[in-house]
Structure 1
Amino acid sequence: MDEIQLTSVDGLVLDAAVHRVPMERRPVGTVIQAHGINADKDEGGMFTRLAEALAESGFTVIRFSFRGHGASGGAQRGITIAGEMLDLEAAVDFAVREHPGPLFMVAASFGAVATSLSLPWLGERLSGVVLWNPVLNLRRTFLEPELPWGIENFSESAQNRLHDEGSLMLDGEFELGRVLFAEMRCHHPGESFTADSTPAIIIHGDRDSYVSYDIAREAAQKHPRCGFHSIHGSDHGFDSREREDEAITVSVSWLADRAGSST
């Protein structure tokens, strides 16, 4: 693994890492990983383990932290959907320039927002998409939350603070600003995802109390080329090592199959 830096077009420096294919393996493609909100390029260790497994299967893997996350530049309060799309663009440009060949995405939770909204310009550059418990409806997750995590974090008092002070605290530790919430009223990642025809799979815990399992399953049904894999009994983020391993195993297998059909 090599530690690198990416630079977004607006000048923010992003912390990143590249996992390279072992010398004895033939490269089959490149995977970019997009983490969730209040996480970083490690995604709690899952992205690191996924990257290692993918490298052993012949994939170059690029992990990066979105602006305002981890060791990347920018402030938490300054995080925006548009900014995360610029960060993703920087990772894609690096992948296309340095590691040409079939390109794939793995996006977790809020990482699915920038990924889904970028699908129109990614177009034929992209050979496959894996979404882990994805945020596909911003209104029902953040603005008018339906599940316990959202109801707790985006209560009336939290919304009042956002209005009066310009930010609120996510899980009591991560500051989100009012511009991000204004953007949420304008973007529809689920519609962008289901309108796309890139081969995809959604992997989602069926006991997710953060992001709707039903919305994700419905999106998979509407998408013309999307599979769906349930992690039975799992809350958001795959809440045990066994469930994490299941998500990783399914992802690696699906990506390897897609890489085989792309070459």
Structure 2
Amino acid sequence: MRPLEVTTPDGIELDAVVHPPASGTSRGTVVQAHGITVDRDEGGMFVRLAERLAAQGFTAVRFSYRGHGLSGGEQRGATIAGEMLDLQSVIDRATEVAPGPVSLVAASFGAVSACLSLRLLRERVANLVLWNPVLDLEHTFLSPELPWGRENFGADGRRAVREQGYLLIDGEFRLGRVMWEEFHHYRPADAFAADGTRALVVHGDRDTYVSFDIAKAAALSRPDTAFHTIAGSDHGFDTPEFEDEAIATTTAWLAGSERARR
């Protein structure tokens, strides 16, 4: 693993690392986009995924969005538009370091910037993997239907945004007014449906954070898209066995995608 220097067009320095392929010859690059309260490690799962991909001959790239981890920017200043710029900057830099086909793995809220960027990256991203993806901002945040959303984004959360300019998610991430306003305007599910990039969606069927049913319906309505259920799993694949299943499923699918292009 080695550092990867990435600076966005608006001057934000992102914390990013590259896991080179164990074989020395890359089969392709896999960029990993994390969720809203974590960083480039995705609670450790992205580290394990990157190591597995590198062992399979891929170049893996992990990074923290602005306002997350060791990247520049403040939590309250993080926006969906900014995350789209971060993602595109990382992909640009990654292809300079390791030319070749690019795949994208996006977890939870990382799916928002990933799906919204597909139209802009259409000729750059060959494969897309979504883990427990946030595809419906309204029913996840604005009018939450699941326990995590009701706990974090109910009346108290909305009042905090109005009165202090941010709300605190899970006691650790300050979501600011601008991102909250963006939730009213962006439609990641529509962007996902409109794009033809080959895709895999992996989701736990006991997810109390992000709707399993919305993700499944989106996947099944879209051509060239596989859906894998992690039976019994909550959000983030909440046991080592569920994590292993998600990582193994993703690695096998990406390896199969690479062979299919030959």
TM-score by length of 2: 0.98
Separation in 1 of the partners of 2:156 and 2:141?
14
Distance, in Å, in 2 between the alignment partners of 1:262 and 1:9 is 32
Whether 1:72 and 2:71 are equivalent positions in the alignment is yes
Given that 2:104 and 2:127 are in contact with CA atoms closer than 8 Å, whether structure 1 keeps it comes out as yes
Paired position in structure 2 for 1:46? 45
Counterpart Cα distance in 2 of 1:35 and 1:75: 17
Aligned partners of 2:33 and 2:106 also within 8 Å: yes
Residue 21 of structure 2 corresponds to 21
Would you say the 8 A contact 1:33–1:64 is kept in 2?
yes
User: Given the alignment of the two structures, is residue 189 of structure 1 paired with residue 188 of structure 2, yes or no?
Assistant: yes
Tell me how far 1:121 sits from its aligned partner.
Answer: 1.1
Residues 127 and 262 in structure 1, CA contact (< 8 A), matched pair in contact too: no
Query: Any conservation in 2 of the 1:77–1:175 contact (CA below 8 Å)?
Result: yes
Q: Distance in 1 between matches of 2:82 and 2:70?
A: 16
SS at 1:123's partner residue?
coil
What CA distance in whole angstroms lies between the structure 2 residues aligned with 1:145 and 1:121? 29
Tell me the alpha carbon deviations over residues 176-205 of structure 1, each in whole angstroms, 9 at most, x when there is no partner: 101001111110001100111111000000
Q: For each residue in 1:45-68, what CA deviation from the matched residue of structure 2 results, as whole angstroms up to 9, or x when unmatched?
A: 000000000001110011000000
Contact 1:102/1:262 (CA < 8 Å) preserved in 2? no
Structure 1 segments of 4+ aligned residues over 6 angstroms from their partners: none
- Alignment match, 2:11: 11
Q: Which amino acid aligns with 2:70?
A: A
Identity across aligned pairs (percent)?
55
Structure 2 unmatched ranges of 5 or more: none
Report the aligned-residue RMSD: 0.9
What amino acid does structure 2 have at the position aligned with 1:8? T
User: Which letter maps to 1:166?
Assistant: G
1:55 counterpart residue number: 54
Give the superposition deviation at 1:21. 0.7
| Kept in 1: contact 2:16–2:62 (CA 8 A) | yes
Once the two structures are overlaid, the 10-residue window that deviates more, 2-11 or 128-137, is 2-11
Q: Which runs of 5+ in 1 are unaligned?
A: none
Q: CA separation in 2, counterparts of 1:131 and 1:138?
A: 16
CA displacement at 1:25 relative to structure 2: 5.1
Corresponding residue number in structure 2 for 1:232: 231
What corresponds to 1:110 in structure 2?
109
* Equivalent residue letter for 2:56: S
The one-letter code sitting in structure 2 at the alignment partner of 1:31 is V
Q: How many residues align?
A: 262
> SS in structure 1 opposite 2:145?
coil
Q: 1:108 offset after TM fit, Å?
A: 0.1
The whole-number CA distance in structure 2 between the counterparts of 1:186 and 1:86 is 17
